Structure 1
């Protein structure tokens, strides 16, 4: 279906298209604040196996400890409290607790059949919290989180068989499409495809989301966030940030950014690289440093803020938040640091053919 056939009036969710307009207007005016880590917040409860199961899954047929998405159904009060904490800290945008809510990722817990419900209810929880925190002059927004799954379409899981794959494009697209539909039904204002380590996975998600929009007859903004896995400056599937952008720009995202894997000290060059080429808004939500010997994160709100404020002052940011290891205290510090600073203005690159493999290629017109 061509874009001209998409009609915002077809959106059945009350007020969503007005919120989308408000989101776009806010991005023109200021740097928006995204929330922080879900896993870090949930770990603070010290839940055991019974704590994850709750009444809903008391008799489930395998262990659920560590399945944070399942808490949407078994312990929704914890998820609601997390959203409320980040909103109180100053987040403009909160993510649904659905990072692993696909049939592929939930297979580890034999919960494939619950993937759609997880997305619907996850979006409803976030929507209720955002609506309660919204005011006329400051609406709050919900980004439906779509994680990368625990499979990769580009790389072999067997070092002795380079051609082997444990997932294919169609399977990924089906899983992503189901998740996207659930998030939209639950009231998400945007869809955030995040922690992208394999660009082919992301392209399957972009394709699936487009198919969903075509079927529904309306759309919401698409947000993308890539993960640069180490100091090589590349994704796990080998692309530089610029090459990644060339690979996904056809999705016409509202914003593109970098999250996870690195702390703010190491992430800056990759945020700057995207900011220099992307003709949309740019987001960044780094980890609270690299994990230490105990698997914990050492960057404090103050130490991270010193970096993120400089990024904002250098004109690199439209959206800022935190990934692994960050807490409401981090988000509160980020919100204060960027308050009043002007947002990045996207460049208007000259018309050209832009291609990519592992490296970007530009053929001037």
Structure 2
């Protein structure tokens, strides 16, 4: 989303002086945002994410507009909803909108921000997404389990307030170190998050599919809820022109097909570096693929921030 919006070369006026705050474009250039959704729907995906990854307390506070969380979230969902409905109307196949709830830039476990204000802002984020027409809430790129809890609890409070019951999906980000940013391994994440009543758990960002395989294997063996997996197009390679993601469309599609056949995720897609053409290849490869009958064997346990026992 961010790469494609920047490639459209929005002006400083489009950003209303808040250069880099992509969520402002939901209000000033909804046509640009809709064009990104259309590009992905046109290659056959079932779902798109809203342009609201940064519509949270910490990220918007960096621009001094943290009081606009609800407004920008609602606008982002409304744009995606219109695009989804237009594509459904054209061919009759259902399309869905995933309301993106990004992590922000502050880690509550490290004392960067208090839990209460963070939870309340996530509630505003989620309420805006729901009222704008999101079909599900996606808490993604989660790096701190306390931040993730704040997002899930905020999402649940918003759903209760609005009076609807939508799926809440959580995707954690496991670094190349093998743990989340603050040192949590995947078992600690599952043990801590599943009892919050989430409807799906998975992985996104930071790495390509190769580095995600063992973490996905753990989830497939033990998670009671369905799985999702959205890798980057490989590990980023830093060049003079910025980050380059090395996996080709076919390589990423090969990996996702293997994930589907081996681990049975219910939702697959792509994160950083995955263009519409990457998603076209994934759609062509996995739509209609045989999915194994996953039979998890959950292990009762307790978790610290770092590990489960």
TM-score by length of 1: 0.79
Match of 1:298 in 2: 246
Secondary structure of 1:49's counterpart equals coil
Say which structure, 1 or 2, has more relative contact order (CA 8 Å, 6+ apart): 1
Runs of 4+ in 1 over 6 A off after TM superposition: none
Secondary structure of 2:244's counterpart equals coil
2:73–2:125: 8 Å Cα contact kept in structure 1?
yes
The match for 1:342 among 279, 286, 290 is: 290
Match of 1:289 in 2: 234
Residues 33-76 of structure 1 deviation map (CA, whole Å, 9 limit, x = unaligned): xxxxx1222232234534x42xxx2xx4xxx2221111111211
Larger radius of gyration: 1
Distance 2:253 2:46 in 1: 17
Secondary structure of 2:131's counterpart equals helix
> Shift of the alpha carbon at 1:137?
5.4
Residues 266-304 of structure 1 deviation map (CA, whole Å, 9 limit, x = unaligned): 221112221211111111111111221222222211121
* Counterpart check, 1:169 vs 2:115: yes
Note the residue ranges of structure 1 that are not aligned, 5 or more in a row.
1-37, 156-164
Match of 2:2 in 1: 39
Measured at CA, do residues 240 and 96 of structure 1 come closer, stay the same or move farther in structure 2, by a change above 3 Å? Answer: same
TM-score by length of 2: 0.93
Aligned residues, how many?
Answer: 304
Tell me the C-alpha RMSD between the 2 structures.
Answer: 1.7
Residues 77-121 of structure 1 deviation map (CA, whole Å, 9 limit, x = unaligned): 010000111111111011110000013210111221222110111
1:1-365 alignment runs, 5 A limit: 38-50=1-13, 52-53=14-15, 57=16, 60=17, 64-134=18-88, 138-155=93-110, 165-230=111-176, 232-294=177-239, 295-349=243-297, 353-357=300-304, 358-361=306-309
Distance 1:305 1:145 in 2: 23
Note the residue ranges of structure 2 that are not aligned, 5 or more in a row.
none
> Shift of the alpha carbon at 1:217?
3.1
1:281–1:344: 8 Å Cα contact kept in structure 2?
no
Residues 116-139 of structure 1 deviation map (CA, whole Å, 9 limit, x = unaligned): 110111000000000111157521
